[in-house]
Amino acid sequence: MAGGSEPDSKEDNLLTSRNLLRSATASVPVAAAGIIHWPTVSWAQTGSKTFVLAHGSWHGGWCWMKVADRLRAKGHTVYTPSYTGMGERAHLLSRDITINTFAEDLVQLIQSEELSNVILVGHSFGGVPISGAADRVPEKIAHLVYLDSVLVESGRSAFSYYPPVEAEGRIKAAEKATNGVAVPVPQQLPSVWGLGKEGNPDYDWVRRRLSPHPLQTYTTALTLKGPVGNNLPRTYIHSTQPSHPCLRTRASSCGHGRDGGGSISRHLTIR
């Protein structure tokens, strides 16, 4: 663990949640499980909290539906935005969308809704724009949660951390399908998402809602004035069964304390 005491029991740390993983979409329920099972973390204390949940590649705000329902049932306020060009905003897809656009989407939501003390959660690729938002409006954010997230240092792109074969494959697919505007939805959903196979209700629900992902959000550099996380309280949640190949090295390094200049407050492992 880095920057915080270890949990009282191994069972608390290893939220054995493969069944939870399958009960909604692509690791999403783990976010709720982490919140519920960590009363020592400030954002899990009693009282109403404000959550902004940022989705990953090809998804939209819709993917948080079941998690948002659980949180709202407990009296919390929850926002599940879709980035420009994705989800219900897919009609806005253009070549001009960059990682700066996604970060600004989150900033504008927080500012327009006059939010404060936000618990900002980024799943998978969503870790990149939440870092951008934290750099711009740190005074509005109480805690960052990186859920199986990509951590990108200032001046680097998301694809600079991906395995070269993975990054090159997505670029070629975008060029073929959309003339380089967006990465098309995979024909078969990755097994690491934990959704089973075609015909499984969760698999089919996710597959029909996915939309192409703006390519330049992967290839443009994230620019930060401070370290990743901007010295805000933050937690990294790493699912290991299975572990996404794009995240293994980064999650491991987070657990040992450094993420581009800042330490992770707490590192939870999900098996």
Print pLDDT tens along the chain (271 aa): 333 333 333 333 323 223 322 333 333 333 333 333 333 344 445 689 999 999 999 999 999 999 999 999 999 999 999 999 999 999 999 999 999 999 999 999 999 999 999 999 999 999 999 999 999 999 999 999 999 998 999 999 999 999 899 999 999 999 999 999 999 999 999 888 889 999 999 999 999 999 999 999 999 999 999 999 999 999 999 887 766 666 654 443 332 223 333 444 454 443 4
Residues 136, 163: Cα–Cα separation, whole Å: 29
Tell me which residue of 56, 59, 70, 82 sits closest to 20, measured CA to CA. Answer: 70
Choosing from 17, 124, 131, 265, the catalytic residue is: 124
Q: What share of the chain is helix, strand, coil (3-state, %, to 5)?
A: 40, 15, 45
- What is the Cα Rg of the chain in Å? 17
Q: Give the whole-angstrom CA distance, residue 214 versus residue 207.
A: 17
pTM of the model: 0.79
User: Is the backbone peptide bond immediately before 242 cis, with ω within 30 degrees of 0?
Assistant: yes
Give the domain ranges of the chain: 10-270
Q: Which CATH class is domain 10-270?
A: alpha beta
Is 5 designated active site?
no
Geometric angle at alpha carbon 66, from 60 and 70, rounded to 5°: 130
